[in-house]
Structure 1
């Protein structure tokens, strides 16, 4: 939840859903409360209308001509003092009051027969209606009333229950909205996982079977990958052609220099041969850079063990006179995020370098996205380790080589955002660790 709202689709959906749920629950609560109040008011008025008709039927007169009601109404609350249910009959010769109008309470008849809010005395607010009838030649005003608090109490009780119910419903809806957002974003999460698998080399293309909303994105992304693959293939083909076109005339110049050397022009021949070797190193170096630049980001992973076994066997044949023993200690199924051709070049350079310097044993170990090659040779002093990754630098000119190996390897690794670390080996020589 620490991400800014505009940067998180999940947050925006959750916040939007929460606001929608809260607004819907509030509006629904208000509407239901309004409907209940209206229904309860109608019910109160219907019941009072019934009692009004009942009251009119029970009106009689005493000997003095004053209106009286000799029988109680059906609701006993009219007979309980200050119960909240009241009736009153007013005539020209006097009035009749319900027993509930105690302690001097009186109703004030309305001017018409509509429902009104009035008062029973100075304190109690009532919902009342008055009817005008003619009995025995006397005009009478009959008023029926209910205390407003009886209606409000029912409405308040309902509102309390409604608030609890709507709160529970709102929480359930919020939980459902959160689950819906999670479910709805599942394709996004799966797409992210596929991109990770693509980056790690487990797949070559994104799965096109996605929801319709994501199909254009996936289709265009796969088309981009396809175009990138074609560019890589074209770049490698052109690199190979360039290497062939450069190496052929370079070989001719080298052969010519060797003829000069055989002819006794040793100084000129040595100069030409040295320049040819420098050109060859530069060609190999820049071709390696081009190949690495083409493979970076292709999302491939290469199984290390089979490739390593082939390289070690080739190096042991090449250095058969040295009698070097190679110990391989790799976890099962180790795969490194590197193109197979580039990984072969990296391992070949490092193992060849180890064979040149080892006395008896080379150890190759690996782990998560790393591989370490150690030898029991003389090692490299810490102060000189930075130099050996420079092109053409050779600490011992007597040792065969071009001085390109570690430099080309280090530069090749940069295109994979990988690192090459030189350290002291446990057996006393040099330990080279590559981390991807």
Structure 2
């Protein structure tokens, strides 16, 4: 059955909301993407507006050119009894060449064609409605031959004869040249606007990199504080960030002051209780051996010692929020000191210790906690081993894993979870209070880690300690 702490950690994991992609993006990426989207929209709208303005400008210029052609035709036309006549040689040479792209015709008041230019032979131009004198209409027309034209119609009242006559002068031009000019402008516009957009994005990235430099410096200083390389944030920052750094420094100072008060309180409590308990135990040891109260007092003193140690461990576990501010602790050096001490305690057993720890492996937390956990596990291995103990481990970016193997009798799987409870012992005849593994479990749980008991390849027990980083 899983322990309560494991179930609580699993429930907390299930309650943790998942981060979407937008929450995972960095601030610089968000700004660059947002600016790119806004800039793209601006470029598109600008290109549409410029293209529209260019189309209107070119169309207006074409309209004026066609109006000039109508004036030239009016100047060349003469009214005779049969109607208007025009010379074969016109001022605009394209009107005399078939298929030249410029065409002209004259309509009477009923809209019937009276004359068309030689260039219009074989073409089916769009025929506008007749216009009143003085009216002008410019439009894009679709001819019966499937071609598109720019058509200008102009109403004229011809009063050179005895009776004024109304005519409509029509000049049409193939719109392919007009569309080609617009296409060329569109391509040129896309090139220039694309280049400007790229330059603006590069400038934005550079400006953003320069603007976010204080934030990167704050992040680097926070990492240095977390690793214990410096006590607080020391750089000089802009006013917008200075409030954040000031609050962080105040939080760090408050946390260190609280940790110092906690350590002082624990030390005072330990020293305050140590002497009275020692005096009481000495007085009991000097008493009568047959005193019936003696055994009861010794039992109660032992329980008091256990309770004091348990409460001290709980207080230390509650103060581990400052562990991330402690400098990294080399695990191999701590293990070597503990093994040297245990060799003296268990010198009669002549235990062979295989230490398989890289010097680069570090513990991110309070050094006393590491010594407490590792010391209890090694002491347990020395106590129960035959002749051999092995300590191995590995450190990754996410976790620290330590494994202690021995060649002792091992731990039955049915007792593995029970032995992690406070006061539980596998052998009541062996000296000890049964709180070592429980203390390890409490400290490890406070760091968000876990302790597991398994069978060792050496034949005894294997205790695995895993601490997240």
Query: If the TM-score is normalised by the length of the shorter chain, which range does it land in?
Result: 0.7 to 0.9
Are 1:99 and 2:121 matched, yes or no?
no
Structure 1 contact 116–128 (Cα < 8 Å) conserved? yes
Structure 2 contact 331–359 (Cα < 8 Å) conserved? no
Question: Cα deviations across residues 27-71 of structure 1 (Å, max 9, x unaligned)?
Answer: 223212211221111211221233234334434566988543342
For 1:327, the equivalent position in structure 2 comes to 354
When the two chains are superposed, the root-mean-square deviation of aligned CA atoms in Å is: 4.4
Correspondent of 1:345 among 353, 372, 396: 372
For 2:136, the equivalent position in structure 1 comes to 115
Count of residue pairs brought into register by the alignment: 430
* Superposition pairs of residues 82-231 of structure 1, within 5 angstroms: 83-88=101-106, 97-100=116-119, 102=121, 110-113=131-134, 115-117=136-138, 126-130=151-155, 144-147=169-172, 150-151=174-175, 154-155=178-179, 158=182, 162=186, 166=190, 214-231=241-258
- Mark the CA change 1:182 to 1:256 in structure 2 (over 3 Å): closer, same or farther: farther
Structure 2 contact 456–462 (Cα < 8 Å) conserved? yes
CA distance in 1, matches of 2:171, 2:19: 58
Structure 2 contact 77–84 (Cα < 8 Å) conserved? no
Are 1:232 and 2:259 matched, yes or no?
yes
- Mark the CA change 1:404 to 1:178 in structure 2 (over 3 Å): closer, same or farther: farther
The alignment's TM-score, normalised by the length of structure 2, stands at 0.74
Correspondent of 2:49 among 31, 54, 62: 31
The alignment's TM-score, normalised by the length of structure 1, stands at 0.79
- Mark the CA change 1:172 to 1:303 in structure 2 (over 3 Å): closer, same or farther: farther
Q: Secondary structure at the match of 1:327?
A: strand
Question: Cα deviations across residues 306-342 of structure 1 (Å, max 9, x unaligned)?
Answer: 1111111122222223322222111231112231111
- Mark the CA change 1:222 to 1:41 in structure 2 (over 3 Å): closer, same or farther: same
Structure 1 contact 205–225 (Cα < 8 Å) conserved? yes
Deviation at 1:110, TM superposition (A): 3.1
Question: Cα deviations across residues 113-143 of structure 1 (Å, max 9, x unaligned)?
Answer: 3531479999688222345677699967775
CA distance in 2, matches of 1:182, 1:321: 69
For 1:423, the equivalent position in structure 2 comes to 454
Are 1:241 and 2:284 matched, yes or no?
no
Structure 1 contact 87–142 (Cα < 8 Å) conserved? no
Structure 1 contact 389–407 (Cα < 8 Å) conserved? yes
For structure 1, the 5+ residue unaligned runs are: none
Deviation at 1:235, TM superposition (A): 1.1
Deviation at 1:367, TM superposition (A): 0.8
Structure 1 contact 108–120 (Cα < 8 Å) conserved? no
Q: Secondary structure at the match of 1:292?
A: helix
- Mark the CA change 1:118 to 1:88 in structure 2 (over 3 Å): closer, same or farther: farther
